[in-house]
Structure 1
C-alpha cells in the first residue's frame, strides 16, 4: 500500500484564495451538512403522526436506524473514499440517502419505513467526507475557514426547521417530510457535482471486507443495546445479547486488524496522542451537545402551570426562539475558528476554549433556568462552545493525518461522535428516571412522564460533564506534533512520524 501523492500537499485547487467557484462549492457542502443537522429534529417532530399511522410503539427505531447505519458504514466509507475519491463517495452517500428517503415516503409498512430510514443514514458519513474533501481541493489558505464554516454551520438552519416542519406536516402530512428530504438530496447531489472537483489524492490499498463486517456488526450491537436498553431493561436478555455480541465482534475486529496487512483502520494511528485525544475529544463534544439538544426542548415545552419550577409551555414552533442563540453562536464559533486557525492560532487552543464554554453553558443552564432571558443567554454560551468545538476538531484531524488517510482517519472521529452522542442522552435520562420522577397524575399530562427540577439540573450537569471530558482530552493533545506517514517501511501497519511539524 502506497500513497499516490506527496504527504504535504493540501489544497489542489488552482486559485490562491477565495473565488465565486469556491464559494459555490462551500455553499453546496454546507447545505449537505445543514440537512444532516435538521434531519433528526424534523423526524422527531413527525414521530407521533408516523407512530399513529402505523399503530406502532417502536417509533424510536426511526432515529436509531438512521444513526445505526451511518455509524456502521462510516469506517468502510472512509476507506473507500481514500481509495476511490472523496467526492465520488460523497455523491454515492447522497444517492443512497435519497433512495432511502423515497422508500420511506412510499412505505406501505413500518418495516419498509425503517429500512428506508436506515438507508437515509448514509447521510451521516457526509460529515467527515465533506471536510476531508475540502482539505484536498480547496487552496491551503482557505481550508481552515472553509472547514470551520462547513462543520460549525450545522445548527444555524435549526432555527427555521421547526417552522418548516410544522408547515409541511400540518398542510401536507407526515410523508411530506420524506419527500422534502428526497428532493433536497437530489438537488444537493447536483450542486456538489457542479461545484466541487474530485480529490486527486488516492491510496493504493485493498479493502478489508472482513474487518468492515466485524467492526460494523460490533458497532451495531453496542448501539442497539444502548438505544433500547432503557426500554427493554438493562438486565434483559436481549439487551445483554446485543451488548455482549457487539463487544465480542469488536474484539474479533481488533484481533483481525493486527493480522491483516491492509486493515480497514490502522490501529497504530490511535496510539498517536494527536489522533487519540482528538478522536476522544470529538466524541465528548458531540456527547455534550447531544444531551443539551435532547433535554432543552423537554424542559422548555413543559407547562409552567404544573408548578415544577421550570418550563414555559411552548409548542414546537415556539421552541424555535430558544434555537436562535444556539444556532447563531454555533456559526459564529465556527467562523472564529476558521479565521484564527488561518492566522496561526492552534486549533487545540480553540478546542480547549470551546470545551470550557460547554462546561460553563451546561452548569449555568442547570442552575438558572426559570427565566427565558437567562436561558437564551446560557444557550448562546453553549452554542459558542459548540461552534468552537465542532470547527476545531476537523482542523485537528487535518493537521494530524496525511491526505491519503484523511477520510479513514476522520471516519474514526465520526464513529466516536456517533457512539458517544447516542450514549450520553441515555445516561441523562437514566439519572432522571431513577431519581427525579415528579409525583404528578399521568392523566394531567396526557400520559407523559414529568421530572422534578432536580432531574433537569442533573441532566444539564451530564452535558457539562461531557464538556469536562472534552476539556481533559483537548489538554492531552500535544501543542506541537509530527504528522504520521501514510505507509512507511516494509510493514504497512507501522506508523512512523514524518518530518512535518504541526501546531495543535
Structure 2
C-alpha cells in the first residue's frame, strides 16, 4: 500500500455540541459499530503474541532441518527489524493515518512470512524474518489508534480489552502450536502464520482511518536511522554476548557503536524542528516516569514466561536436570487459568480507572506480580503449585499491561499518543533484551551440560524467579516517582475540548 496518497485532514478541535464530547458523557453502552471496531483491532494488535509463541516452539525443528547452530538469529532478526522500523512507523502513522501505515506494515510482514516459510536454506529464512519484522510496529499503532477511534469514556476499557486479550491468546497459542508442529511440522506452523497475517490485513480493512496528527513534511530519516540503528546494535551485542564473550571485540564494538549512535541521536533530535520521536516529551516528569517505570517490570513479566518453559518441558534426570518432564500440551492446559485471569484483569483495569487513579492500580499490579514471582521461586514442584502461582502472576501481569496504557493515556494528549506508545515499545524491547540476558545468566549458574545441552537444577529456577521479582521491585521503586495522575476518561475528554496545537504541561 502506498503512503503517497493525499493524507487525511488534521482533526479539528471539538466544539460545543460535537458528538465526541457527547460520547464522553454517555452512559457507557457500546454500539454495534464500536464492538466491531474493537474486535477488528484485537487480532492485528496481538498477532505478535501468537506468532512469537509458534515461532519459538518451531525453532528446534528448524534448527534440525537446516543443521544450523545459529538458530538464535531466527528471533533476533525479527526483533532488530522491529526496533529499526518502529520510529519510522510511529511518525508515518501521525502523518498519514495509522490505518494506512498498519496496512502497509502488515503487507510487508506477509511478504516476510512467505519468504520464511518457502525458504530453501537458512540464510534466506533469516532474510524473511527481517522482512517479517516490519509487522512489529503494528502492535504499537493499534494501541495508539484506540484513542482516536473510541469516545473518551470508552478509551480505557477498549485499551484494557486489547491489551488484556494477550491472556487468552497466550492460553490458546501453545495448544495450537503443539498441534500444528506435531501434525504438520514447522512449515505447517509457519503457513498458519501466513494465514494469520492475511486475517490481520482483512481486520484492518474494517477499521476506520484515524485523524492525521502531524503535518506531512520531510521525514527525519537521520534521526530514525540513528535511533533504530543504535538500539539494534545494543540489542545485537546483548544477544551475542553469551556466545561470543562479553569482552570480545565484536561485542564491545556493538555496544560502543550503539551507544555512540544513541548519543548522537539525542543531540540531533533536540535540535531538529520535527524529530522522529519528540524527546522533549521526556522532559515532563509524568511521562518520563510512566514510560520508564512501566517498561522495566513489563520486561520482567515477559522474560519470566521462559522460566516455566524450561522447568516444565525439560526432563527429570538425577543430578543433571530438575525439570518436570511435561509435554507441551499438558503445560499449555495448566496455563489456561492464568490466561483467563490475565484477560479478565485487563478488562477490570479498564473499568477500575474510571473511578480510581491508574497509578494506584499500577502499584497494586506490581505488588501482585512481585508476590507471584517470589511464590513461584519457592513453589514450582508440581502441577498444583504451578497453577496457583501462575494465577497470581497472571493477575499481576494483566493489571500491568492494561495499567500501563491507562497511565499513558493520562499523561499525554491524543496527538502524542502514538509517539508515547512508540517510546514505550522501544524501551520495553530494550529492557526485555537486557532482562533475558540476566535470566539466562542466572539459569546457567546452576546448570549441567549433558550431550551438548544445558539442563537446569532446582536452584536455577528458584534464583531465576527471584531475579525477575527483583526487577519488578526495581520497577516499583522507579514508579514511586510517578506524580498524581488524572483518570483516562477525564483526560481524553479534555483533549477533545482543546485544540491539537495546545501542549499539555507536566
Fold agreement, TM-score > 0.5 = yes
Offset of 1:348 from its aligned partner? 1.2
Question: Which of the residues 459, 462, 480 maps onto 2:464?
Answer: 459
C-alpha contact (below 8 Å) 1:4/1:202 kept by paired residues? yes
Q: Tell me what 2:447 maps to.
A: 437
SS at match of 1:203: coil
Distance 1:273 1:481, change over 3 A: farther
Offset of 1:48 from its aligned partner? 1.4
Offset of 1:497 from its aligned partner? 3.4
Q: Distance in 1 between matches of 2:143 and 2:406?
A: 9
C-alpha contact (below 8 Å) 2:410/2:485 kept by paired residues? no
Q: Distance in 2 between matches of 1:94 and 1:323?
A: 29
Within-5 A mapping of 1:316-395? 316-341=328-353, 343-395=354-406
Q: Distance in 2 between matches of 1:42 and 1:101?
A: 13
Offset of 1:151 from its aligned partner? 0.9
SS at match of 2:166: coil
Q: Distance in 2 between matches of 1:253 and 1:8?
A: 39
Within-5 A mapping of 1:118-137? 118-137=130-149
TM-score w.r.t. length of structure 2: 0.89
Q: Distance in 1 between matches of 2:150 and 2:287?
A: 23
C-alpha contact (below 8 Å) 1:310/1:370 kept by paired residues? no
Q: Distance in 1 between matches of 2:153 and 2:392?
A: 29
Question: Which of the residues 215, 228, 236 maps onto 2:227?
Answer: 215
Q: Distance in 1 between matches of 2:19 and 2:76?
A: 36
Q: Distance in 2 between matches of 1:330 and 1:208?
A: 38
Offset of 1:382 from its aligned partner? 0.6
Offset of 1:167 from its aligned partner? 2.2
Q: Tell me what 1:427 maps to.
A: 438
1:164 aligns with 2:171: no
Q: Distance in 2 between matches of 1:164 and 1:3?
A: 43
Q: Distance in 1 between matches of 2:384 and 2:99?
A: 43
Q: Tell me what 2:265 maps to.
A: 253
Question: Which of the residues 103, 108, 117 maps onto 2:115?
Answer: 103
C-alpha contact (below 8 Å) 1:69/1:119 kept by paired residues? yes
| Superposed CA offset, 1:144-199 (max 9, x none) | 111011012113122222232222223222112222111121122112212x2111
Q: Distance in 2 between matches of 1:38 and 1:190?
A: 17
C-alpha contact (below 8 Å) 2:358/2:485 kept by paired residues? no
Q: Distance in 1 between matches of 2:314 and 2:377?
A: 16
C-alpha contact (below 8 Å) 1:282/1:416 kept by paired residues? no
Offset of 1:412 from its aligned partner? 0.2
Within-5 A mapping of 1:12-51? 17-51=29-63
| Superposed CA offset, 1:16-73 (max 9, x none) | 5412221122112112233211212211111111112222111111111111111221
Q: Distance in 1 between matches of 2:300 and 2:337?
A: 17
Moved over 6 A (4+): 7-11, 481-486
Within-5 A mapping of 1:74-223? 74-194=86-206, 196-204=207-215, 205-223=217-235
Q: Distance in 1 between matches of 2:49 and 2:360?
A: 26
C-alpha contact (below 8 Å) 1:51/1:57 kept by paired residues? yes
C-alpha contact (below 8 Å) 1:283/1:416 kept by paired residues? yes
Offset of 1:411 from its aligned partner? 0.1
Offset of 1:8 from its aligned partner? 11
The number of equivalent residue pairs is 483
Offset of 1:329 from its aligned partner? 1.5
Stretches of structure 1 that go unaligned for 5 or more consecutive residues are: 487-491
C-alpha contact (below 8 Å) 2:83/2:231 kept by paired residues? yes
SS at match of 1:497: coil
Stretches of structure 2 that go unaligned for 5 or more consecutive residues are: 1-8, 496-500
Distance 1:61 1:201, change over 3 A: same
Q: Distance in 2 between matches of 1:13 and 1:188?
A: 31
Q: Distance in 1 between matches of 2:109 and 2:141?
A: 15
Q: Tell me what 1:489 maps to.
A: none
- RMSD of Structure 2 on Structure 1 (CA): 2.6
